[in-house]
Amino acid sequence: MDELHTGYLLDAALLRPESLAEAWEWAIEQRLGVASLLVPGDVEQTTWRAFDYLADAADANVADVPDAVWRGALDHASDDERWMIGRAAYDANRWDVAEFAWWPLAERGESRAMNNLGILLENRGDHEAAAKWIDRAADAESDVAMFKVAMRLRRESRGRFSLVSAEYWLRRAAEAGHVPAMYELAHVLDSGASMSKAFSMLSPRWAEERLAETEMWFRRAAEAGDARAVTGLAELLLDAGRLDEAETWFQRFADTGNPDGLYRLAVVAMRRGDSHAVESALRDAAGAGHARAGYELAGLLRRRGEFDEADRLATRAIRHETRAMSDSISAHIRNR
C-alpha cells in the first residue's frame, strides 16, 4: 500500500490529499456505528481488508487499476494468486497483464496457465504460439489426473475461482473420456439449475445451452454404464416432462435390481395419471423393500377401504425402514 497508493493520486493534486497515516486512520474509523471502509483481517488487527460492499462496488472498475498496482500485485503473488490475477486482468481486457502473469507459470508446466495463455494468444491472432501452448497443456494432462485435480478443487473450494477451475478440469477430463468426470460435470451443471432459472429471464439461450450440456453429459455417462448418471438423466427428463424417455431410463435403473428404480416408475405413472400402472409399480417397489413405496401403497389401499392389507404393508414398510436405518448407522460406525 505504501508503494502503490500514489498511483491513484496522479490527478488528485488539487484535492490536496492527506498523508498516508491520516488516510489509514480515516479508513479504519467505524462509520454510523456499523463498519469501517477497512475491516480487521485478524483479531490482533495486524492486517486489514476492504469491507465486502466496497469490494463488490470496486469489482466493476477493475479496468481502472493502475499499471503499477498490477505489477506490484504480481511481485508479491504466489503461483495460485498469480493465476487469479491473470484471470482478473484477462476479464478486464488487460491481456498484456494476463500474459505477463501466466507466462512464467506456463513455462514451469502449469496446465491451467498453458491453456489460458494459449486461448489469449489465439484471441490475439497469434495462432502458431497459441497452438504450442495448448498442445503442451494437453500433453501434460491425463484424464485421471485432471479428474483428481477437479475433485480436490471441489473439496477444498475457497471461492469462485476454485469452483470455476474445478468445472474446467472436469470438462477437460470428461472430454478425454473419463466416465466419472462426465457424471460429476453433469452433476455440477445440474446443481446450478436454480442459477439457470434465474438467468433464463435475462438470457434464455444461456439457460437452454446449460441444460442441454447437462443432459449430454448425463447421457454419455449413463450410456457408458454409470448407474448414478442413469438416475440423473432420468430425473432430468422427468422434470422436463419427457415421460417416455424418463420411463426408459428409470426402467434401466430398475433392471439393476434397485428398488428406487421401481418406485420412480410409479412416479412416472403418477405424472401420467395411470392409476393401474401406479399401483402395479408401487407393489413391485414395496415388494423389493422400498419403504416409501410401501407407505404410499398402504395409503392407496386405505382410501379404497382395504384396511387389512394396508396395515400389513405399513408394518412391513416400517420394518424395511428400520433395517435400512440400522444398516446405515452400522456402516457409518465402521467407516469412522
Q: What is the mean pLDDT of residues 237-247?
A: 95
Q: Which CATH architecture has domain 257-326?
A: Alpha Horseshoe (1.25)
- Which grid coordinates are listed for 22? 491520516
Q: Which residue has the higher pLDDT, 13 or 166?
A: 166
CA distances from 95 to 80, 99, 156 (A): 18, 6, 29
Has this prediction a pTM greater than 0.75?
no
Q: What is the mean pLDDT of residues 120-134?
A: 82
How far does the chain reach from its first CA to its final CA, in angstroms?
A: 48
Q: Is residue 9 helix, strand or coil?
A: coil
pLDDT of 230 over the 90 cut = yes
Give the type of residue at 168: Y
Q: What is the mean pLDDT of residues 67-91?
A: 89
Taking CA 257 as the corner, what is the angle to CA 252 and CA 258, rounded to the nearest 5 degrees?
Answer: 85
**How far apart are alpha carbons 325 and 279 in whole angstroms?**
26
pLDDT of residue 194: 42
Share of the chain above pLDDT 70, in %: 76
pLDDT of residue 193: 47
Structure letter (DSSP) for residue 31: B
CATH 1.25.40.10 residue ranges for the chain: 257-326
In this prediction, residue 190 has a pLDDT band, given cuts at 50, 70 and 90, of confident
- Which grid coordinates are listed for 218? 448425463
Q: Which residue has the higher pLDDT, 152 or 299?
A: 299
pLDDT of residue 110: 87
Q: Which residue has the higher pLDDT, 290 or 7?
A: 290
In this prediction, residue 216 has a pLDDT band, given cuts at 50, 70 and 90, of very high
Q: Which of 51-60, 61-70, 98-107, 114-123 has the lowest mean pLDDT?
A: 51-60
Q: What is the mean pLDDT of residues 303-321?
A: 90
Alpha helices in the chain (DSSP H): 20-27, 52-59, 67-75, 79-91, 95-107, 111-124, 127-139, 143-155, 160-175, 179-191, 193-200, 204-223, 227-239, 243-255, 259-272, 275-287, 291-303, 307-335
Strand-pair partners of 31 = 35
